[in-house]
Every structure is written in C-alpha cells, then in structure tokens.
C-alpha cells in the first residue's frame, strides 16, 4: 500500500513514498520567528524573518521586509511560528528497539520472545524507525555502536526518501562479554589486549566508521592502567585512520582514563562523583564532546517495573508497534519473566535523574566543554524519536536554559557529526535542515515537539503524515 508523504514546499506536490521529493524548487517561510541557538539572547531571536530554501540549502535568511520571496516559490506562512535548526541526537542505537526484548543481557525475555526475532524485527523495521526520528524533528542521529550491519543501516538511511542523516560506529570494543547479544554479528566484542584492539579497529576502519567506540566497563579488581592501555591502542589506531574515539565511561576515574587515552567524545555523564579540575582540563585538552544521556537509566527502571507511561509526545510520535509492546509485562506469564523484573514489579520505585549527573552537566557546561544532547535511544524504555523531548526536559533540571538545551541539540550536535559547517545553524549556504514549530521553544523545551513541518535537505515533511505511513500495515513502505 503506498503511503502518502507530502513533500510540501518545494513544488507542493504529493508524492508516493519511495519517490524522492523534487528538490530543485524554492520554498519561502515568511514572517517566522527564527531562533539561532548558536547565539546568546537577545540576538538569538529574530522575529518577522523570511527563510528561503532552494534545493537542499538555505539560500537567504533575513528580515521579511528586505528578503524578497522569489517568483514561483512555494510560500509557507511563518506568522505565529518559530524556526529552529533540525534536532541532532548524538547517541542512539538502531540495533535496539526500545522495547522489553532488546537487551537480553540486561533482562532476558528469551523464554517469551526469542532475541533473534527481535533483531529481525529491528532490521525489517528500519524504514519506520527512520521516519519516527524525522517526525520528532530529528534530522541527524549518531548511532554510537552496534553490529557490523550498522554500516548497512547507514547506507539504507542514505537511500531512504525519509530518514535522518546517520553517522555510525561499528561494534563496541568492550572490557566485558555480552554473549546473549551474539547472534553471529555481535554489537559488543570483548577485547583483552592492545593488539586485539588494534585488529578490531582495523576491521572497522575498512567500513569507514564515523567513530570507533569503546565500552569502558571498569569493575572492582580490574587493572585500570591495563584497561587504559587497551583504550589508548584503540584510540591511537582510530586517530591514525582519521576517525574519532567515543567512550562509554560513567565513573570519574574511568572518564579521566578515557580522556588520557585520547577520547574525543564521552557518551555518558560522570555519575559517581563530582567532576574536578583535572577532568575538565583533560576534556578541554582533547576538545572532547560530553553527552549527558540522562533519561536512559530511568527508561530501564520504568519499563522493567511496568511503570513506563508514554508522554504526550510519545503518544503522537513514537512507533505504535513499540508503544503497544511497552505493556507486554501484563500479558507475559510470571514464570517467563526474568527474576529482576519480578522483583522490580513487586516494589516499583519511581526513578529520579542522578543528582550528581545533573550537577556535573552544569559544571561541564560552565567550563565551556561542548555538551551534546543524546538519548541512548533503543535501550529498554528509551524510544527512538520522541525520547529526545524527555532528555531535553531533564537537561533543564540541571539548570540549563531552553536556549542552551537547544544549542546542545543543534549547533553543538553538529560537531558530533563533524558537520558544524553544514548543519546545526541557520545561515545562507547551510543545508536546509530545520523545523517549523507551532510554539515557542524558548518558553519551554517541550514546545520543540509541537512541530508543524520538518525540513531535511530541503525536503519538507509533515509529522502527522510520516506517522500515518508508519502506522500503515507493515509501516515499512
């Protein structure tokens, strides 16, 4: 069944899914309030502005009174609307769906739903998953680690008529095994020597990754210096190949070891103790990006205690297949539930964001280290797409203003993709990745979910229509 996907704008034509929109045309958003997240107030806000999009790029942007609309351009009335750059999620995983069955190493539901079936589902569902990202206004994502088929996923995104731009890392170089995730193309590979780390990096470099990723798990009794040497070997090999090093490190000593080993991107908060001057100096020296990734742990706790509830944005913008599956704990017989789930369900504790992680976010921000917004979407309870609105709301609890949060999700996020010259800001010559909103994102970050239109590469999408095509039978057309 063909899905209806209107490529407004440009030629204001109705196209069938699978047929790329005409991009050689011109669209004009007239009279909108443009928010420039890379600037400070008051210059961040430009009211009564016209944005001209030509092909895949922004051609002009300026006061409506002095920015003429070219003849033949498709006019989009921007009055009472806001324009911001497309959102960027710097931390996602497409090999995971967000449902209960997606991390058997954490909660093993194989007795009810074989993991192999879940992985097949996730691969087949990619076209729909791409669409839910766009519908949530996310025009770029960074998949920071998964199986080797991640590289095919990136190719599929490029070919898809409706997908965010995708940067990708391959399998995680890990300190620990995750055998339950290994179906022949594991997302996590245990490495025990510097030589093995270099060999795996070489294999990944053949696929032209955007990052090499290390899962730096440091447990009691582990030799931190020996682990750091493995991370450094991976980082050095990545850097020789012109690729940056991303590291999962959630404790202060591990995060510092990662930075000493060359980390360019810390994909989680430091959660165990306050960051100190040494940490901040190391991060600055590396020009490292810091992704706080605050919601994901709450997502697990809600989902595995059967207290996960969709937000208003998730009702509208999450994949309905995943939403339906979030209630499955009610129908799985008790004897098929993992023990930890039975326990969590018997005493659900409402989770709260880590106070230390929130304080550290503020300190890192104030030190001038680039903070990038990322959800870790795909993990249990953290849904592809609208989980960005949960994440951004929690970031404000650290004391970041809506403008600062928006900066982390746009102009800073562009740095994660290494595309800060092309995306994340609104200026002539930039790629036309932008959102038209029905509500003021600086009054409340959740207003970023009130999306009138999403423009990616100059193609105009209507969130409702994207979601209708996802809900249609199969959702993958």
Q: Which residues bind Zn ion (CB under 5 A)?
A: 376
Contact of 218 with 253, CB cutoff 8 Å = yes
Task: For the CB of residue 395, give the shortest distance to Zn ion in the complex, in Å.
Answer: 17
| CA distances, 320 to each of 104, 315, 326 (Å) | 22, 8, 10
CA atoms of 164 and 134, how far apart (whole Å): 6
Task: For the CB of residue 376, give the shortest distance to Zn ion in the complex, in Å.
Answer: 4
Residue 9 or 378 having the CB closest to Zn ion: 378
- Examine residue 42 and say whether the peptide bond preceding it is cis (omega within 30 degrees of 0): yes
Task: For the CB of residue 327, give the shortest distance to Zn ion in the complex, in Å.
Answer: 25
Task: For the CB of residue 293, give the shortest distance to Zn ion in the complex, in Å.
Answer: 7
Longest dimension (CA), the chain: 70
Look at residue 434 and give its three-state secondary structure: strand
Residue 59 or 376 having the CB closest to Zn ion: 376
Name beta bridge partners: 431.
Answer: 57
Residue 93 or 450 having the CB closest to Zn ion: 93
Task: For the CB of residue 141, give the shortest distance to Zn ion in the complex, in Å.
Answer: 12
CA atoms of 161 and 459, how far apart (whole Å): 9
Task: For the CB of residue 243, give the shortest distance to Zn ion in the complex, in Å.
Answer: 18
Task: For the CB of residue 322, give the shortest distance to Zn ion in the complex, in Å.
Answer: 17
Look at residue 75 and give its three-state secondary structure: strand
Provide the terminal-to-terminal Cα distance of the chain, rounded to the nearest Å: 7
Q: Which residues contact 284 (CB under 8 A, 6 or more apart)?
A: 367, 368, 369
Q: Which residues contact 299 (CB under 8 A, 6 or more apart)?
A: 98, 308, 379, 380, 381, 382, 387, 390
Task: For the CB of residue 145, give the shortest distance to Zn ion in the complex, in Å.
Answer: 6
CA atoms of 18 and 41, how far apart (whole Å): 41
Contact of 464 with 332, CB cutoff 8 Å = no
- Measured from each CB, the residue nearest to Zn ion is 376
Looking from the CA of 168 toward its CB, the CA atoms found within 13 Å total 26
Residue 293 or 410 having the CB closest to Zn ion: 293
How many of the other CB atoms lie within 10 Å of CB of 302? 21
Task: For the CB of residue 403, give the shortest distance to Zn ion in the complex, in Å.
Answer: 26
Residue 89 or 376 having the CB closest to Zn ion: 376
What would the DSSP string read from start to end of 214-276? EE----TT--HHHHHHHHHHHHHHHHHTT-EEEEE--SHHHHHHHHHTT-SEE-S---SS---
Task: For the CB of residue 60, give the shortest distance to Zn ion in the complex, in Å.
Answer: 39
Three-state helix/strand/coil letters over 330-396: HCCCHHHCCHHHHHHHHCCCCCCCCHHHHHHHHHHHHCCCCECCCCCECECCCCCCCHHHHHHHHHH
């Amino acid at each position: 069944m063909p899905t209806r996907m209107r490529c407004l704008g440009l030629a204001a034509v109705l196209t069938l899914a699978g047929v790329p929109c005409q991009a050689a045309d011109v669209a004009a958003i007239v009279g909108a309030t443009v928010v420039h997240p890379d600037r400070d107030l008051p210059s961040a806000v430009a009211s009564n502005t016209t944005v001209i999009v030509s092909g895949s790029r922004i051609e002009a942007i300026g006061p409506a009174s002095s920015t003429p609309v070219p003849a033949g351009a498709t006019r989009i009335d921007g009055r009472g609307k806001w324009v911001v750059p497309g959102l960027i999620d710097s931390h996602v995983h497409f090999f995971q769906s967000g449902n209960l069955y997606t991390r058997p190493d954490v909660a093993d539901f194989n007795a009810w739903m074989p993991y192999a079936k879940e992985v097949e589902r996730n691969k087949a569902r990619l076209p729909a998953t791409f669409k839910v990202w766009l519908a949530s206004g996310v025009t770029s994502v960074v998949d920071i680690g998964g199986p080797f088929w991640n590289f095919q996923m990136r190719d599929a995104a490029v070919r898809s008529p409706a997908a965010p731009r995708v940067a990708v890392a391959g399998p995680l170089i890990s300190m620990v095994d995750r055998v339950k995730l290994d179906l022949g193309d594991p997302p996590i590979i245990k490495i025990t020597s510097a030589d093995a780390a270099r060999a795996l990096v070489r294999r990944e470099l053949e696929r032209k990754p955007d990052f090499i990723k290390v899962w730096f798990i440091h447990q009691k009794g582990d030799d931190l210096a020996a682990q750091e040497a493995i991370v450094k070997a991976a980082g050095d090999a990545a850097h020789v190949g012109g690729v940056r090093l991303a590291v999962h490190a959630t404790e202060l000593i591990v995060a510092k070891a990662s930075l000493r080993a060359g980390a360019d991107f810390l994909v989680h908060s430091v959660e165990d103790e306050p960051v100190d001057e040494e940490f901040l100096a190391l991060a600055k020296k590396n020009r490292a990006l810091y992704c706080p990734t605050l919601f994901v742990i709450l997502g697990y706790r809600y989902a595995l205690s059967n207290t996960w509830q969709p937000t208003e944005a998730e009702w509208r913008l999450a994949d309905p297949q995943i939403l339906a599956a979030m209630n499955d704990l009610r129908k799985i017989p008790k004897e098929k539930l993992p023990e930890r789930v039975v326990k969590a369900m018997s005493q659900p504790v409402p989770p709260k964001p880590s106070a230390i992680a929130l304080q550290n976010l503020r300190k890192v921000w104030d030190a001038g280290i680039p903070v990038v917004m990322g959800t870790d979407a795909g993990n249990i309870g953290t849904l592809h797409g609208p989980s960005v609105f949960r994440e951004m709301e929690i970031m404000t609890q650290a004391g970041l203003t809506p403008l600062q949060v928006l900066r982390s999700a746009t102009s800073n996020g562009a740095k994660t993709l290494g595309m800060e010259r092309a995306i994340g800001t609104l200026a002539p010559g930039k790629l036309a990745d932008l959102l038209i909103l029905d509500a003021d994102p600086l009054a409340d970050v959740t207003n970023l979910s009130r999306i009138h239109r999403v423009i990616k590469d100059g193609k105009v999408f209507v969130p409702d229509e994207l979601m209708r095509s996802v809900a249609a039978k199969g959702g993958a057309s």
